[in-house]
Amino acid sequence: MTGSGSCDKTDVSQHLTAQLKNRVFSERAGTMRLVILDDYDLASEWAAKYIRNRIIQFKPSADRYFSLGLPTGSTPYGCYQKLIEYYRNGDISFKYVKTFNMDEYVGLPRAHPESYHSYMWNNFFKHIDIKPANAHILDGNAEDLEAECQAFEQKIAEAGGIELFVGGIGPDGHIAFNEPGSSLVSRTRVKTLAKDTIVANARFFGNDLSKVPTMALTVGVGTVMDAKEVMDQNHTDIFSSTTSCLLHCSLVMILITGAHKAFALYKAIEEGVNHMWTVSAFQQHPRTIFVCDEDATLELRVKTVKYFKGLMHVHNKLVDPVLSIKDQ
């Protein structure tokens, strides 16, 4: 350092760099980030890199598992593909990761191709090294559904809460199966699905409305809010078992892609907290990241979009450099 009292450029930039670093990694202050990527693939990749970095930074071990909340649907599919790729390249391991899915249909046989168990097996679990005992999904065929919901909450509590909850958003602004009108302090419970939801999902059941499940178990808004972090993924499937398992989640990340989710995103972040648009509850979560593509921002104010795009260099520090277990 140069002497005397003059502030030279090195001092200033170092000072700023330090501030920037603090700003990015500060977890005591509340943070709401809107991360906007150009398209679905880039959004998926950003989200996957973020998850990867969080897990690796956490340094999970046999004594200290990383607990991850997970969604289903078409939105997170790209993110799962990237995570599988990172696993195959040897950059990440799920050996010490516990997962908790947000929801599952009631009464649908587990082996049915549309069950969320099938989705998670085919699109994620079968490709990675997670221990089967650590992959938790609500059992929609349990004899006592209420007990199942409570047991799920209990498992989350035993895991020490969820470090990072990844979720999506429905076109009607719901998270998991917390349909419009759901209590914002709800816990894991059985929900009857709205007609809209059933109609929207008929396409997965041969367009036969009678074959679509009418109930689901879902984490509650309160459950996800408890998450230390909430990462919301905009998901098209509306069935979720509301589990109020957002227990002390460290961070929440919400993935929102596509123009059909744009209005819901607008309601979620530019209007007030409202139980008709349950994702808006995350405005009150200490650490939330909304990851979206351009199309999902179509209903936002230009000012909002410009502001957050201007922050991309800050946001990108969360994913750059991208960490690898090979370096450990």
Partner 1 sequence: MPSNRSVSDAPITQFINCRILRDHRLQREDLWVREGRILDPEKLFFDEQGYADKRVDCEGSIIAPGFIDVQINGGFGIDFSQASDDVSAGVSFVAKKILEHGVTSFCPTLVTSPPAVYHKVLPQVKVHGGGPHGAGVLGENRCVRPPPEDELQSFPELVLTRSSICGPFGAGGWSGSQSVVRELCQRSITCHSVANLSQAEDAVQTGASFITHLFNAMLPFHHRDPGIVGLLTSDQVPAGRTVYYGMIADGIHTNPAALRIAHRAHPSGLVLVTDAIAAMGLPPGRHTLGQQVIEIQGLHAYVAGTKTLSGSIATMDMCVRHFKQASGCSVEEALEAASLHPAQLLGLGHRKGNLDYGSDADLVLLDDALDVKATYISGEEVWRKGP
Considering only the stretches 67-75, 110-118, 158-166, 170-178, report the one whose residues sit in contact with partner 1 under the rule CB under 8 A.
Answer: 110-118
| CB 56 to partner 1: min, Å | 20
Distances (CA, A) of 142 to 104, 105, 113, 216, 292: 11, 11, 18, 12, 35
List the interface residues with partner 1, window 174-213 (CB under 8 A).
none
Assess 131 for contact with partner 1 (CB under 8 A): yes
Q: Which of 135, 194, 246, 251 binds partner 1 (CB under 8 A)?
A: 135
Q: Does residue 179 have an active-site annotation?
A: yes
Assess 125 for contact with partner 1 (CB under 8 A): yes
Catalytic residue among 103, 229, 237, 293: 103
Q: Does residue 114 have an active-site annotation?
A: no
Q: By C-beta, is 137 or 252 nearer to partner 1?
A: 137
Q: By C-beta, is 43 or 135 nearer to partner 1?
A: 135
| CB 115 to partner 1: min, Å | 10
- Count of chain residues binding partner 1 (CB under 8 A): 13
Considering only the stretches 65-73, 111-119, 224-232, 263-271, report the one whose residues sit in contact with partner 1 under the rule CB under 8 A.
Answer: 111-119
As given in the structure block, the two tokens for residue 159 are 């895991």
Considering only the stretches 117-125, 153-161, 229-237, 281-289, report the one whose residues sit in contact with partner 1 under the rule CB under 8 A.
Answer: 117-125
Assess 132 for contact with partner 1 (CB under 8 A): yes
Could you tell me whether strands 229-232 and 164-167 are parallel, antiparallel, or unpaired per DSSP bridges?
A: parallel
Residues sharing a CB contact under 8 Å with residue 261, sequence separation 6 or more, in sequence order: 169, 171, 234, 292, 296
Q: By C-beta, is 87 or 290 nearer to partner 1?
A: 87
List the interface residues with partner 1, window 61-100 (CB under 8 A).
none
Q: Which of 91, 110, 155, 317 binds partner 1 (CB under 8 A)?
A: 110
Catalytic residue among 45, 104, 153, 172: 172
Q: Which of 31, 74, 93, 118 binds partner 1 (CB under 8 A)?
A: 118
User: In a 10 Å sphere around its CB, with 0-12 CB exposed, 13-18 middle and 19+ buried, how is residue 303 labelled?
Assistant: exposed
Q: Does residue 172 have an active-site annotation?
A: yes
Assess 129 for contact with partner 1 (CB under 8 A): yes
Q: Does residue 103 have an active-site annotation?
A: yes
Q: Which of 29, 62, 133, 302 binds partner 1 (CB under 8 A)?
A: 133
Could you tell me whether strands 215-218 and 189-192 are parallel, antiparallel, or unpaired per DSSP bridges?
A: antiparallel
Binding-site ranges for partner 1 (CB under 8 A): 110-111, 117-118, 121-122, 125-126, 129, 131-133, 135
- Catalogue the active-site residues: 103, 172, 174, 179
